[in-house]
């Protein structure tokens, strides 16, 4: 591929940052059904649990008594009980009780805006006054009778933006995933990048090709033959701060490709939620929602297993990439035309981060008046 801009880009000398005034997937709903969960999100140690009436809560994972992680405790009658000395916390971050102690003067710890939706727990690490649940990304396939979903969670040692780069440039499939979803036509077919509202969209359409092994399996799963030419599509949609939904599939050639009827294609959405843990580590919630043969649980398990192997290959590459970048921050990288989707996504993120920085630096009305 020819470079769009052959001038080298210096890697940033400071640690990567991430927007905090945004919704991130913190965990799946079933991860906190039995006990509290401690998880670091955007550099903040949080504890997630179910309080009164099964309502989800998120607090700093820090007991105000002796600083022990509250996630080591238990939930009793809707209160989070510290596992060190039995201090009881409410969902608002206030101490409710402690054996043998008066707790009225205990400091309040931070509570975070949190919502349970689509089988995930979403958290807003920033200013909770700005957290609007209506802005949580909609997932049309959740609990829909025409769709089936299977997924998992990986912990990966890389900057969250490296995963976004990876997902917005699928030419790597030819090399990293050669035995499953990769094929030479991906390299040979140009991709198109556009901005659609608050999304970056990168798309590629291939016509009259042989389906790779993973998609042959998917065709069979929809009762279709796998030995005929197919049309294949990849439409990657980045929504800030860190989700990528990828429309993928194949259709028997001659039936309209992407627009083919459901009985002539295997159509899915690859689901990717990338939640920063630190500047160089992430929680990666992955899955596939498919719109064919939704009641076949064996097929769901088969696709999930295959997808898990594919993403494990990405994990290895990304962690080694991060190791190189961390060891050589002075080295420079190139931008190619295949990188356009990732570059546009990073620009969106940079603007979000800059807006937050300016808001933090701006003087309050009281400070301005005093000045």
Q: Look up the CATH number of the domain holding residue 281.
A: 3.90.380.10
Q: What is the pLDDT of residue 110?
A: 97
Q: E strands, the chain, where?
A: 5-10, 24-28, 37-41, 44-50, 56-60, 74-76, 79-81, 88-89, 95-97, 113-117, 120-124, 148-156, 192-196, 199-209, 230-239, 243-252, 265-278, 281-290, 332-335
What's the CA gap between 74 and 307, in Å, rounded? 34
Q: What is the pLDDT of residue 15?
A: 39
Per the domain annotation, does 358 fall within a domain? no
**Cβ atoms of 114 and 26 closer than 8 Å:** yes
* Cis upstream peptide for 241 (omega within 30°): yes
Mean pLDDT of 232-246: 97
Mean pLDDT of 296-308: 95
What's the CA gap between 364 and 69, in Å, rounded? 34
pTM above threshold 0.85: yes
Per the domain annotation, does 361 fall within a domain? no
268: closest CA among 304, 297, 309?
304
What's the CA gap between 15 and 56, in Å, rounded? 32
The gap from C-alpha 143 to its chain's centroid, in whole angstroms, comes to 20
> Do residue 154 and residue 276 come from a single domain?
yes
Looking at per-residue pLDDT, the higher value among 72 and 178 belongs to 72
pLDDT, tens digit (0-9, with 9 covering 90-100), for 341-353: 999 999 999 999 9
Per the domain annotation, does 266 fall within a domain? yes
pLDDT, tens digit (0-9, with 9 covering 90-100), for 176-232: 888 899 899 888 998 999 999 999 999 999 999 999 999 999 999 999 999 999 999
Element (H, E) at 297: helix 297-327
**Tokens 């999930």 found at:** 304
Task: Show the tokens assigned to 306.
Answer: 């295959």
> Do residue 310 and residue 242 come from a single domain?
yes
> Do residue 265 and residue 331 come from a single domain?
yes
> Do residue 187 and residue 301 come from a single domain?
yes
Q: Is 43 helix (H, G, I), strand (E, B) or coil?
A: coil
Q: Which residue among 81, 102, 135 closes a domain?
A: 135
Task: Show the tokens assigned to 339.
Answer: 């990188």
> Do residue 73 and residue 195 come from a single domain?
no
Q: Which residue among 91, 111, 135 closes a domain?
A: 135
**Cβ atoms of 61 and 46 closer than 8 Å:** yes
Looking at per-residue pLDDT, the higher value among 200 and 367 belongs to 200
- Please name the residues in contact with 220: beta carbons below 8 A apart, sequence gap of 6 or more: 226
**Cβ atoms of 292 and 145 closer than 8 Å:** no
Per the domain annotation, does 284 fall within a domain? yes
Per the domain annotation, does 169 fall within a domain? yes
> Do residue 191 and residue 130 come from a single domain?
no
Q: Is residue 14 scored above 50 in pLDDT?
A: no
The gap from C-alpha 130 to its chain's centroid, in whole angstroms, comes to 21
pLDDT, tens digit (0-9, with 9 covering 90-100), for 312-321: 999 999 999 9
Q: What is the pLDDT of residue 337?
A: 80
310: closest CA among 147, 199, 112, 177?
177
Mean pLDDT of 43-67: 95
What's the CA gap between 81 and 96, in Å, rounded? 10
> Do residue 217 and residue 79 come from a single domain?
no
Per the domain annotation, does 122 fall within a domain? yes
What's the CA gap between 367 and 51, in Å, rounded? 38
> Do residue 124 and residue 161 come from a single domain?
no
> Do residue 271 and residue 300 come from a single domain?
yes
Per the domain annotation, does 368 fall within a domain? no
The rounded radius of gyration (Å) of the Cα atoms in the chain is 23
Q: What CATH number is associated with residue 79?
A: 2.102.10.10
What's the CA gap between 2 and 75, in Å, rounded? 58
**Cβ atoms of 215 and 250 closer than 8 Å:** yes
What's the CA gap between 238 and 164, in Å, rounded? 8
pLDDT, tens digit (0-9, with 9 covering 90-100), for 254-280: 999 999 999 999 999 999 999 999 999
> Do residue 263 and residue 167 come from a single domain?
yes
> Do residue 162 and residue 71 come from a single domain?
no
Burial state string for 157-174 with b = 16 or more CB within 10 A and e = fewer than 16: bbbbbbbbbbbbbbbbbb
Per the domain annotation, does 363 fall within a domain? no
The structural domain count of the chain equals: 2
Q: Which residue among 102, 135, 168 closes a domain?
A: 135
- Local confidence band at 361 (pLDDT 50, 70, 90 cut-offs): confident
DSSP letter assigned to residue 47:
E
Q: What is the pLDDT of residue 41?
A: 98
Could you tell me the residue range of the domain that residue 80 belongs to?
Answer: 24-135
> Do residue 164 and residue 231 come from a single domain?
yes
């Amino acid at each position: 591929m020819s470079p769009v801009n052959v001038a080298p880009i210096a890697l940033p000398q400071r640690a990567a940052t991430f927007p905090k005034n945004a919704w991130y997937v913190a965990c799946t709903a079933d991860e906190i059904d039995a006990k509290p969960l401690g998880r670091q999100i955007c550099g903040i140690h949080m504890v997630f649990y179910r309080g009164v009436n099964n309502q989800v809560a998120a607090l700093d994972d820090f007991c105000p008594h002796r600083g022990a992680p509250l996630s080591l405790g238990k939930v009793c009658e809707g209160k989070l009980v510290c596992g060190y000395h039995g201090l009881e916390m409410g969902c608002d971050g206030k101490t409710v009780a402690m054996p043998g102690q008066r707790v009225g003067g205990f400091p309040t710890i931070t509570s975070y805006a949190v919502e349970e939706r689509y089988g995930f727990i979403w958290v807003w690490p920033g200013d909770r006054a700005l957290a609007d649940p209506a802005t949580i990304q909609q997932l049309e396939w959740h609990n829909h009778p025409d769709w089936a979903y299977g997924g998992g969670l990986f912990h990966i040692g890389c900057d969250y933006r490296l995963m976004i780069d990876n997902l917005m440039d699928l030419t790597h499939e030819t090399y990293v995933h050669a035995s499953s979803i990769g094929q030479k036509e991906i390299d040979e077919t140009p991709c198109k990048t556009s901005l659609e509202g608050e999304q970056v969209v990168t798309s590629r359409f291939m016509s009259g090709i042989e389906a790779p092994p993973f998609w042959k399996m998917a065709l069979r799963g929809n009762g279709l033959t796998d030995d005929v030419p197919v049309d294949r599509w990849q439409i990657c949609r980045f929504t800030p701060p860190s989700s990528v939904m990828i429309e993928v599939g194949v259709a028997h050639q001659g039936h309209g490709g992407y627009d083919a009827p459901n009985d002539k294609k295997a159509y899915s959405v690859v689901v990717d939620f990338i939640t920063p843990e630190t500047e160089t580590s992430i929680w990666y919630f992955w899955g596939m929602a498919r719109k064919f043969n939704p009641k076949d649980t064996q097929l769901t398990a088969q696709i999930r297993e295959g997808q898990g192997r594919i993403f494990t290959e990405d994990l290895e590459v990304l962690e080694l990439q991060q190791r190189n970048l961390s060891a050589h921050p002075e080295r420079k990288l190139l931008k190619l035309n295949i990188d356009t989707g990732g570059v546009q996504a990073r620009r969106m993120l940079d603007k979000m981060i800059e807006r937050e920085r300016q808001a933090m630096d701006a003087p309050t009305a009281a400070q301005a008046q005093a000045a």
